[in-house]
Amino acid sequence: MVWVVVVAHKKRYPLDPLLQKREEEVDVRARELRERMEAARQAEARRQQALRERQDHARWISVQTQEEADRFDAGDAAAQDMMRLHAWRLAQACRAEELAQREAAARERAGKAERQEGEARTQLAQARAGTKVIEQHRDRFEAEERRAEERRTESEVEDLVNARWSRRKA
């Protein structure tokens, strides 16, 4: 006697490898976005620091200049003091220019980091959309498989009922 075992085989979704690849892409893009957000945050902090340094320097120069002007008005400044003041002002003008350039560079880096963050957000959204398309397709595929299985079961039941009716009539 030979026994035949029928095993119902559920059809596997053929795009599982693609779905897995798309999900991995979403993970990579999410990680990249976190890195870009952190870089943008740090760039903004450096920009704000550069701005504070420039503003602090400008306030300090203003105070120092006013003190020197007060000394000059009081008659406490000699010619040598005036020459040193002039040299000091030139040095501080160079320092102010350097701080302004640093601030401009930090502003540019912050803008670039912000743009990169925006691009990373776009890429993440695209990766998520690609994954969602495959997931929706898989859901439709699985629903169709369930409907096909239900039709097969109904057909088998119908055949069984028809066979019993045929036997009763005969």
Q: Is the dihedral of CA 104, 107, 112, 113 positive or negative?
A: positive
pLDDT score recorded for residue 70:
83
Write the pLDDT tens digit of every residue in 2-12.
554 444 556 77
For the residues 61-70, what does the mean pLDDT come to? 87
- Those residues whose C-beta lies under 8 Å from the C-beta of residue 102, and which sit 6 or more positions away, are 50, 53, 54
CB burial of 122-157 (b: ≥16 within 10 Å; e: otherwise) equals: ebbeebbebbeebeeebeeeeeeeeeeeeeeeeeee
CA distance 138 to 135: 5
Percent helix, strand and coil across the chain, each rounded to 5? 90, 0, 10
pLDDT score recorded for residue 75:
78
Give the amino acid at 100: A
Instruction: State if pTM tops 0.85.
Output: no
pLDDT score recorded for residue 51:
95
Angle between helices 16-74 and 79-169 (to 10 degrees): 160
Q: CA dist 122 to 3, 28, 98, 103, Å?
A: 59, 13, 36, 28
pLDDT score recorded for residue 168:
78
Write the pLDDT tens digit of every residue in 111-168.
999 999 999 999 999 999 999 999 999 999 999 999 999 999 999 888 888 888 887 7
Whose CA is closest to 39, among 119, 100, 104, 98? 119
pLDDT score recorded for residue 3:
57
pLDDT score recorded for residue 80:
81
Confidence check: pLDDT of 100 > 90: yes
Write the pLDDT tens digit of every residue in 146-160.
999 999 999 988 888
Domain ranges of the chain: 16-156
For the residues 59-85, what does the mean pLDDT come to? 83
Confidence check: pLDDT of 27 > 60: yes
**pLDDT class for 170, splitting at 50, 70, 90?**
low
| 16-156 maps to CATH 1.10.287.1700 | yes
